[in-house]
Amino acid sequence: MESQPNNPLHGIKLEQIIMDLVAHYGWEYMGYTINIRCFTHNPSVKSSLKFLRRTPWARTKVEKMYLEILKKNNK
């Protein structure tokens, strides 16, 4: 396995990213920011994982949202 010292997402599971985002923002804000059904209609970590694993553009948006939290917390 390659080391990725400059990748802040390295070693963080998608499930953890979703749980951290929900804790920080809540489902409602996440659904408002990234308008996908798994955030707006009966949201759950399980449905979000299933959708995001199959939908690269949505996963990219979720990862960017998570990176913004990391940046804010490092300041």
- pLDDT of the residue at 64: 96
- The first and second tokens of residue 9, run together, are 């997402």
- The whole-model pTM stands at 0.87
DSSP 8-state code for residue 55: -
What backbone phi and psi angles, to 5 degrees, belong to 40?
Answer: -105, -25
Q: Which tens digits make up the pLDDT trace of 16-62?
A: 999 999 999 999 999 999 999 999 999 999 999 999 999 999 999 99
Q: How many other CB atoms sit within 10 Å of the CB of residue 73?
A: 8
- The answer to whether 66 and 17 are in contact (CB under 8 A) is yes
- What is the topology classification, in CATH, of domain 14-74? 1.10.720
- In angstroms, the CA 10 to CA 4 distance is 6
